[in-house]
Amino acid sequence: MTIHGFRSAHSAGLAARCLEKLKRRDFVEGAALIDGCWIAGQQRDMVIDPASGEEIADVARCNAADMGLAIAAAEQSFSAWRGLLPARRGAILKSWASLMLHHSEELAMLVTCEQGKPITEARHEIAYGAGFLEWFAAEGERAYGETIPSHKSGSLLHVRMQPIGVTAAITPWNFPVAMITRKAAAALAAGCPMIVKPAPETPLSALAIARLAEQAGVPRGVFQVVVGDPIELSVPLLSDPRTRALSFTGSTEVGRLLLGESAKSVKKVSLELGGHAPFVVFDDVNIEKAVSGAMAAKFATSGQDCLAANRIYVQRGLYNAFVEAFAGAVRRLKVGHGLDPAIDIGPMTKASVAKKCRLQIDDAVAKGAQAVSAKQDESLGPNFVLPTLLSDVTEGMLIAQEETFGPVAAVLPFDTEEEVVARANASEMGLAGYIYTDSLRRALRLSEQLEYGMLGVNTASFTGPPIPFGGWKQSGLGREGSRHGLAEYMELKYVCFGDLAARER
């Protein structure tokens, strides 16, 4: 068995043995779904377990010509799919969600084996991902238009919402199931076909949900998954004028690039990009509540989460006690292979993420931060980063300036409300923020002043199908989930019926 770049005695062979036991052998065939056919591809790419570095499966490497076939098939399928009653489309989406829940355990294993997250979080992701299919199954029936009081005598003004056409999704590896269903549920409910280009690190999860889409009765060409090299596949997808909308989740850097490419054929673009969330704790708050919120907001998905608290600002009066309690909780985190049900933190999915975490820790410590890490007896592979708390962080440190995307928590003291609002807003990013306070007035003031698309007040848990997920500034464009998410895949059509007073001859 080839080991990629490193050898870890810890958990050797664990993921491969787990995948061998899957009853749904088609989940690990690694075939792409194009125009209703399962394509094995002439060339194959390997899928790696990020915990052990071992190859665990191989998948088709599709090329630009395959993407061309997918676009043609999607266009071909559009008219029949948009012509179905929304309730009929909804029934198919519901059946897809039920199949996901039925196969939840196997899907969760795939996610953990290729992405690395703890199995309990993977199970939660499957339920969360299926939730978008269920929610949009119903929301598709509510794509109401408008009737506008007329400004012209004898005329009637209508606004209709109609599906935009062929849509594309380019998705990341941190939520390899939910980032696909959050897009596809809305697109398909709106009446649009969707072509998904998943992250090359996590193709198995995407291909498995495509199997279930087919089984649920999603017609040929309406939901396709094309796997392979991101640049080779995205060039035809974005340059083709038949692709009318793009939904992308990933880094701000790649998002900017794809927005530029999409501009050439003026596509409708929604982008869910990076975060750099402030987590603001005032000294009127219960310390246990604040620490447990910070733990959840920082360490979910092993820190590889765009909602992750990246700058934890704690008011001076509570600062020392907060750091002590937070350090105790960080020390207790268990690190290991995601298939071990006792662990809290898995490996980083990409070596580059682990490298960035180490760089930020070294930079902060060199500039005067104090570091406390979780204890770990076993030696783990290089993709693992021990959960670390950095206190006395200052704005000059890298971790205060850029997203971490790993299990490293930065705590910074502050004195006044005005000061912390200014520091929290001093970022190019504007995805999510958190406010912990017992003062309703203060919570209302901050919810007005913080320049973020989503805010949690005294909670670290706020995402789900009914909410408009998305960011301000360079964290993105558009929204996913909620009725606003459906609108990303629809065009408005204004129709003026004139001359209504005239009688038919």
- Residues noted as catalytic: 272, 306
Choose the binding region for ligand NAD from 2-10, 79-87, 228-236, 449-457 (rule: CB under 6 A). Answer: 228-236
Of positions 306, 329, 361, 450, contacts ligand NAD by CB under 6 A: 306
Please say which residue, 295 or 431, places its beta carbon nearer to ligand NAD.
Answer: 431
- What is the C-alpha to C-alpha distance for residues 406 and 399, in angstroms, rounded to an integer? 11
82: how many CB neighbours lie within 10 A of its CB? 17
Is the Cα dihedral 334, 337, 340, 345 positive or negative?
Answer: positive
Helices (H) and strands (E) in the chain, counts: 16, 22
Candidate residues 79, 149, 231, 266; the one interacting with ligand NAD per rule CB under 6 A: 231
The total number of residues written for the chain in this structure: 505
Choice between 67 and 254, CB closer to ligand NAD: 254
User: Binding string, 270-299, against ligand NAD, x = CB under 6 A?
Assistant: --xxxx------------------------
Beta bridge partners of 444: none
Any contact of residue 172 with ligand NAD (CB under 6 A)? yes
Q: Which is nearer to ligand NAD, 302 or 315 (CB)?
A: 302
- In the structure encoding, which two tokens stand for residue 373, read together? 């890490």
**Shortest Å, Cβ 174 to ligand NAD:** 5
Reading the block at residue 315, the tokens are 């008011």
The residue with its CB nearest to ligand NAD is 250
Cβ atoms of 415 and 315 within 8 Å: the answer is yes
Chosen residue from 39, 188, 199, 490 binding ligand NAD by CB under 6 A = 199
Which residue among 11, 174, 302, 315 contacts ligand NAD (CB under 6 A)? 174
Q: Which stretch binds ligand NAD (CB under 6 A): 243-251, 312-320, 408-416, 440-448?
A: 243-251
- CA-to-CA dists, residue 288 to 224, 302, 456, angstroms: 46, 21, 17
From 12, 60, 97, 170, residue interacting with ligand NAD (rule: CB under 6 A): 170
Contact flag: residue 200 with ligand NAD (CB under 6 A): yes
**Cα–Cα distance measured from residue 344 to residue 332, given in angstroms and rounded to the nearest whole number:** 9
Beta strands 146-148 and 55-60: pairing type? unpaired
For 492, half-sphere exposure in the C-beta direction (CA atoms, 13 angstrom radius) is 9
Among 245, 254, 386, 411, binds ligand NAD (CB under 6 A): 254
β-partners of residue 433 are: 455
Instruction: Name residues contacting ligand NAD, limited to 414-433 (CB under 6 A).
Output: 431
Residue type, 166: V
Choose, by CB under 6 A, the member of 3, 69, 257, 372 that binds ligand NAD: 257
In the bound state with ligand NAD, the residue whose beta carbon lies nearer, of 161 and 431, is: 431
Complete edge-to-edge strand list for the sheet that includes strand 223-225: 37-39, 32-34, 223-225, 194-197, 166-170, 243-249, 268-272, 476-477
Site stretch for ligand NAD (CB under 6 A), options 216-224, 244-252, 284-292, 441-449: 244-252
Q: Does 181 bind ligand NAD (CB under 6 A)?
A: no
The pattern of x and - marking residues 321 through 350 that bind ligand NAD according to CB under 6 A reads ------------------------------
Pull the structure tokens for residue 137: 């199954």
Residue 171 interacts with ligand NAD (CB under 6 A)?
yes
CA–CA gap between residue 33 and residue 210 (Å, rounded): 7
d(Cα 44, Cα 142) in Å, to the nearest integer?
42
Which range of residues in 78-86, 114-122, 140-148, 171-179 is near ligand NAD by CB under 6 A? 171-179
Residues 262 and 243 sit within 8 Å (Cβ to Cβ) = no
Should residue 403 be labelled a site residue for ligand NAD when binding is judged by CB under 6 A?
A: yes
CA–CA–CA angle 371, 374, 377 (5° rounding):
130
To ligand NAD, the closest distance from the beta carbon of 128 in angstroms equals: 13
Pick the closer one to ligand NAD by CB: 384 or 405. Answer: 405
Strands in 437-489 per DSSP E: 454-457, 472-473, 476-477
> Residue 473 CB, nearest distance to ligand NAD (Å)?
12
Query: Stretches 17-25, 72-80, 166-174, 286-294: which one binds ligand NAD (CB under 6 A)?
Result: 166-174
- Are the beta carbons of 443 and 434 closer than 8 angstroms? no
Q: Which is nearer to ligand NAD, 250 or 456 (CB)?
A: 250
Q: Which residue is listed with tokens 């673009």? A: 269
CB count in 10 Å sphere of residue 95: 18
Binding site for ligand NAD (CB under 6 A): 170-174, 199-200, 230-231, 234, 249-251, 254, 257, 272-275, 306, 403, 405, 431, 476
